[in-house]
C-alpha cells in the first residue's frame, strides 16, 4: 500500500456549555485547526507511533499487541495492563495517546485478519488541554488510520457508513482518554460543520451553509472543568428556580442559534448581528452562573472596544474565549485585536468554524 494522510478537526462549543449538563441544547462547530496523521508502510511488521508535538515515539512489535475482540472496558485504566511490558508508558498527554493506541489497535485489528507494519506520525495544530477537542481530533485520525489499514473502509472517499464506524471507534478512544465523554467532540471531529447536541440523544448536523470567522483566545489560565461543573451544581442546589431559569435561557440561546445557522432567508449582516447578540447574552448568562474569570472578562473588554462580541467557550474559569469576526472585517484589523490580546499574555488563533470533518 502507499503512504496516506488522514486529518480531523478540533471543535469549539459555540453555545450551551454547562446547561448541556442539565439536558439543555448545545451547539458546537468544527475548527479549521486540525490533527494530521501521515501513515507510511514498514517492512518489519512493527507499529510505530510518533507524536512530535508531545514527545512520543513508541515502537511496538505487532505480535506483542493484544487483540481485543469483544473486550469491554469497565474502566479506562484497565488498558494500562494491556500495554506490552517492553513499552514504558510516558507521562502527561502522551500517556493517553499510548493507551488509546493500544486499545484501538487491539480492537480494530481484531476485526480483520490483516497484519501490516506501519509508522503513524501525527502532528496537530490544536493546543492540548485547551478545550478545543485535540484528543477527539487525534482519536478520529487514529481510528480512520486503523480502519483503513485493516481494509474496513471503502476504497474511494468516505461513505456515511465509514463515518459512522470511525465515529464509533473514536468515541471508544475518548472513553479511554476521558472516562465518560458526551460524544460531542468526536462527532464534530468526524462530521465537521455545526452540530446540535442534547445529552443522551444522537447529535444533529445542522447542515449549515454558513461558516463563521472567529478569533479563539487562550487565556492560558488553567481551569478545572470538574470544579466549575460542581460550582454550578452547588449554586443550583441553593437557588434551584433562579438557576433553572438561567439554564432555560441558555437553552433558548442554543435553539435560536440553531435556527440562525439553518436560515437561508436572512441577509448575512442581519445574521451576524443576531449572532453577536446571542454571543453576548450567552456569556452574560454563564457569568451569572459564576464560571467566568477576570481573564475572560478582559477578552470581552478588549474586543468590545472594537465592537466585537465574545464569550467564554468550554468550562470557563480561564481556558478559551471566542470572538465572532464579521465577514467584512479586514484581516489586518483582526491582527490588531489579536496583538492587543496577546499583549495581555493571551494566545490567539484566527480560524473558521464549520468546515469539513
Q: Out of 124, 134, 135, 292, pick the active-site residue.
A: 135
Compute the radius of gyration of the chain from its Cα atoms.
Answer: 21
Q: Residues of 55-65 as b/e, b for ≥16 C-beta within 10 angstroms?
A: ebebebebeeb
Task: Give min distance, CB of 12 to ligand MEV, in A.
Answer: 10
Q: Out of 134, 185, 292, 295, pick the active-site residue.
A: 185
CB atoms within 10 A of CB 116: 15
Task: Give min distance, CB of 254 to ligand MEV, in A.
Answer: 12
Task: Give min distance, CB of 73 to ligand MEV, in A.
Answer: 20
Q: Decide whether 8 or 132 has the Cβ nearer to ligand MEV.
A: 132
Q: Label each residue of 271-337 as H, E or C.
A: HHHHHHHHHHHHHHHHHHCCCCCHHHHHHHHHHHCCCCCEEEECCCCCCEEEEEECCCCCHHHHHHH
Q: Residues of 160-169 as b/e, b for ≥16 C-beta within 10 angstroms?
A: eebbebbbeb
Give residues in contact with ligand MEV (CB under 6 A).
13, 17-18, 20-21, 131, 182, 225, 229, 314-315
Q: Decide whether 62 or 225 has the Cβ nearer to ligand MEV.
A: 225
Q: Decide whether 18 or 34 has the Cβ nearer to ligand MEV.
A: 18
251 as an active site residue: the answer is no
241 as an active site residue: the answer is no
Question: 247-252 — which CB contacts under 8 Å span 24+ positions?
Answer: 247/18, 247/19, 247/22, 247/24, 248/24, 249/281, 249/285, 250/15, 250/16, 250/18, 250/19, 250/24, 250/282, 250/285, 250/286, 251/16, 251/19, 251/24, 251/25
Q: Decide whether 106 or 131 has the Cβ nearer to ligand MEV.
A: 131
Task: Give min distance, CB of 317 to ligand MEV, in A.
Answer: 10
Task: Give min distance, CB of 14 to ligand MEV, in A.
Answer: 12
Active site positions, annotated: 135, 185
Amino acid at each position: 500500500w502507499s503512504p496516506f494522510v488522514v486529518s480531523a478537526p478540533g471543535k469549539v462549543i459555540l453555545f450551551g456549555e454547562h446547561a448541556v449538563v442539565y439536558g439543555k441544547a448545545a451547539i458546537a462547530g468544527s475548527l479549521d485547526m486540525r490533527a494530521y496523521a501521515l501513515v507510511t508502510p514498514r517492512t518489519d511488521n512493527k507499529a510505530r507511533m510518533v507524536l512530535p508535538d508531545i514527545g512520543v515515539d513508541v515502537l511496538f512489535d505487532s505480535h506483542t499487541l493484544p487483540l481485543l475482540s469483544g473486550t469491554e472496558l469497565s474502566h479506562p485504566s484497565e488498558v494500562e495492563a494491556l500495554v506490552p511490558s517492553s513499552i514504558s508508558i510516558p507521562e502527561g498527554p502522551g500517556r493517553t495517546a499510548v493507551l488509546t493506541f493500544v486499545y484501538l489497535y487491539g480492537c480494530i485489528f481484531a476485526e480483520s485478519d490483516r497484519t501490516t507494519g506501519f509508522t503513524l506520525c501525527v502532528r496537530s495544530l490544536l493546543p492540548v488541554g485547551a478545550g478545543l477537542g485535540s484528543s477527539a481530533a487525534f482519536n478520529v485520525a487514529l481510528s480512520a488510520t486503523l480502519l483503513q489499514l485493516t481494509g474496513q473502509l471503502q476504497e474511494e472517499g468516505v461513505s456515511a457508513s465509514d463515518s459512522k464506524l470511525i465515529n464509533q471507534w473514536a468515541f471508544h478512544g475518548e472513553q479511554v482518554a476521558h472516562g465518560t465523554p458526551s460524544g460531542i467532540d468526536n462527532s464534530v471531529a468526524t462530521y465537521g460543520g455545526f452540530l446540535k447536541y442534547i445529552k443522551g440523544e444522537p447529535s444533529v448536523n445542522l447542515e449549515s451553509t454558513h461558516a463563521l470567522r472567529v478569533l479563539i483566545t487562550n487565556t492560558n489560565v488553567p481551569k478545572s472543568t470538574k470544579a466549575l461543573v460542581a460550582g454550578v451544581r452547588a449554586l443550583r442546589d441553593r437557588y434551584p428556580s433562579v438557576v433553572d431559569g438561567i439554564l432555560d435561557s441558555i437553552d433558548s440561546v442554543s435553539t435560536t442559534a440553531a435556527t440562525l445557522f439553518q436560515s437561508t432567508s436572512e441577509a448575512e449582516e442581519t445574521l451576524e448581528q443576531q449572532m453577536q447578540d446571542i454571543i453576548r447574552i450567552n456569556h452574560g448568562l454563564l457569568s451569572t452562573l459564576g464560571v467566568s474569570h477576570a481573564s475572560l472578562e478582559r477578552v470581552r473588554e478588549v474586543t468590545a472596544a472594537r465592537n466585537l462580541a465574545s464569550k467564554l467557550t468550554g468550562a470557563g474559569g480561564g481556558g478559551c474565549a471566542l470572538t465572532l469576526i464579521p465577514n467584512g472585517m479586514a484581516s489586518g484589523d483582526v491582527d490588531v485585536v489579536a496583538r492587543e490580546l496577546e499583549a495581555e499574555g493571551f494566545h490567539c488563533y484566527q480560524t473558521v468554524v464549520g468546515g469539513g470533518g
